[in-house]
Structure 1
Amino acid sequence: MLEIKGLRVVRGQGPQSHAVRLDALQLRAGEVWAVTGESGCGKSTLLEAIGLLLKPERLDCYLLGSEQHDVARLLAGEQHAALAALRSRELGFVLQSGGLLPFLSVRDNILLPRRLLGLDAHSHAVDKAVAALSLTPLLDKLPQALSIGERQRVACVRAIAHEPRVLLADEPTAALDPHNAQRLFELLLELVAELGLSALLVSHDWALVERFGLPRLGAINGQGETRFEPLV
């Protein structure tokens, strides 16, 4: 589902620049990995690069989805339209800010990715996620009427609504109480298994990561650079 080799992305310029490196990663269908490390080490930067929101300085290999799309070739050729189409179809995002559109109801926010891709509005995966996260009473409300935690739960459902091949979640439980954080983790793992997705979850919640026994991509900090590698 996802194979990356030789990824390096740089944030900032001159002496203030910081590089984030991922030498190798392979995610198969049904696998969920946690991305861990101290605050500010580059976890979000790594996720944005994998999510095609940042152009890497170097990239030896990036294959995405069941059809093994050659993302590295598309990036090298600056094929922006093809990259945008691939990103919207194959990737699902949960941003720290939630990223809900304020003028759309909860229902329409959740269904937006499906409508943009021309998919049927009904989805068993969406129905299951809405029920599991107790969002049914909120479907007709606007985002400003929700708590921060409720918005984050909606954002998580929207990210899987179009059943992408790879889910990228940046601190999906940060705004949730312990009960809802655990329920969200359980739901994400269930949906990944049921839909055959792969997922990378940035998390500061070590207890949750350990409770669910997730394999980890851990940050190793060096001078001006953070390297992420599998930890066992």
Structure 2
Amino acid sequence: MLSLEGLHITRGQGAAGHEVRLPGLELASGEVQAVVGPSGCGKSTLLEAIGLLLTPRALRRFTLGPERTDLAALLQGGNERALAEIRARDLGFLLQSGGLLPFLSVRDNIALPRRLLGLPPQSERVAHACDVLGLAPLLDKRPGALSIGERQRTAFVRAMAHEPRLLLADEPTAALDPQAGERLFGLIVSLVQELDMAALVVSHDLALVTRFRLPRLVATLTPGGCRFAPAT
């Protein structure tokens, strides 16, 4: 599903600069991989780069999907129109902030990515996710009326509502109690497998990562930055 080699990102300059390196990453359809490391090491920066929100300093290869779309060429060529289309169609983002639109109901927030792609606003998988996460009674409320945990659960359903090829989740369980966090983690794993997606999940909860036996992409601090590599 995803193949990447030689990713190098630089944020800031001089003494305030921070480098993030990912020598290689392979993600198969149905695979969920956890991204772990200390706070501030660059985990969110890594997701933003893989999510085509940052232009890397260097990138040798980056392909996505069975047709192996050459994302490295699009990034290096600055093809913003094609990149925007891929972000909307093939990627799903779950940010720590949730990123819900405050003037839309839960129902309309969830339906938005499907509407933008011309898909029917409802689907059985979306309804199932809402039921599992306890969102069915909240569909007509706006984000301002929700708890932090309810907003995070809503943001997850919105991120997967259009059934993207790659889900990028940044600390999806940070605002949830242990039971709700385990329920959300389980739903991520099951839906990724069911929909033949792939997912990268940044998580500080090593107990959950271990419980679900997820392979890990581990951060190692280096002078001036951080390097990510699969756990051995």
Where on the TM-score scale, by shorter chain, does this alignment land: which range?
A: over 0.9
**Counterpart residue number, 2:5:** 5
Is residue 2:51 matched to residue 1:51? yes
Q: What pairs up with 1:170-209 in 2 under 5 angstroms?
A: 170-209=170-209
Q: What's the RMSD between the two structures over aligned residues?
A: 0.6
Corresponding position: 1:168 with 2:175: no
Secondary structure of the residue that 1:22 maps to in structure 2?
strand
Regions of 4+ moved over 3 Å? none
Q: What is the CA deviation profile of residues 18-77 of structure 1, one whole-angstrom value per residue up to 9, with x for unaligned ones?
A: 100000001010000000000000000000000011110101000012221100001111
2:140 alignment counterpart: 140
Name the CA distance, whole Å, in 2 between partners of 1:18 and 1:172.
Answer: 24
- 1:126 maps to 126
Equivalent residue, structure 1, for 2:78: 78
Q: Could you tell me how far 1:122 is from its partner in structure 2?
A: 2.1
Rounded Cα–Cα distance in structure 2 between residues aligned with 1:26 and 1:89: 20
Question: Aligned with 1:58: secondary structure?
Answer: coil
| Letter paired with 1:9 | I
Structure 2 unaligned spans of 5+: none
Cα deviations by residue, 1:109-143 (Å, 9 ceiling, x for unpaired): 00000000001122121011000001000000000
Give me the whole-angstrom Cα distance separating, in 1, the residues matched to 2:28 and 2:21. 21
Deviates more, 1:66-75 or 1:103-112: 66-75
Which amino acid letter does the alignment assign opposite residue 190 of structure 1? S
Q: Quote the Cα distance in structure 2 between the aligned partners of 1:122 and 1:143.
A: 19
1:174-222: CA deviation from partner (whole Å, max 9, x where unpaired)? 0000000000000011100110100000000011001111000000111
TM-score, structure 1 normalization: 0.99
Q: TM-score, normalised by structure 2?
A: 0.99
Could you tell me how far apart the structure 1 residues matched to 2:231 and 2:92 are? Answer: 25
Unaligned runs of 5+ in 1: none
Aligned to 1:92, the other structure's residue is in SS state strand
Q: Secondary structure at the match of 1:130?
A: helix
Aligned residues: 232
Deviation string, structure 1 residues 138-189 (Cα, Å, up to 9, x no partner): 0000000000000000000000000000000000000000000000000011
Whole-angstrom distance in 1 between the partners of 2:212 and 2:148: 24
- 2: CA distance, partners of 1:222 / 1:128: 43
Cα distance in 2 for residues equivalent to 1:110 and 1:126: 8
Quote the residue 2:100 is aligned against: 100
Q: Measure the CA separation in 2 of the matches of 1:74 and 1:13.
A: 25
1:163 partner SS: coil
The answer to whether the aligner puts 1:27 opposite 2:61 as a matched pair is: no
The DSSP-based 3-state class of the residue aligned with 2:137 is helix
Residue identity opposite 1:158 in structure 2:
R
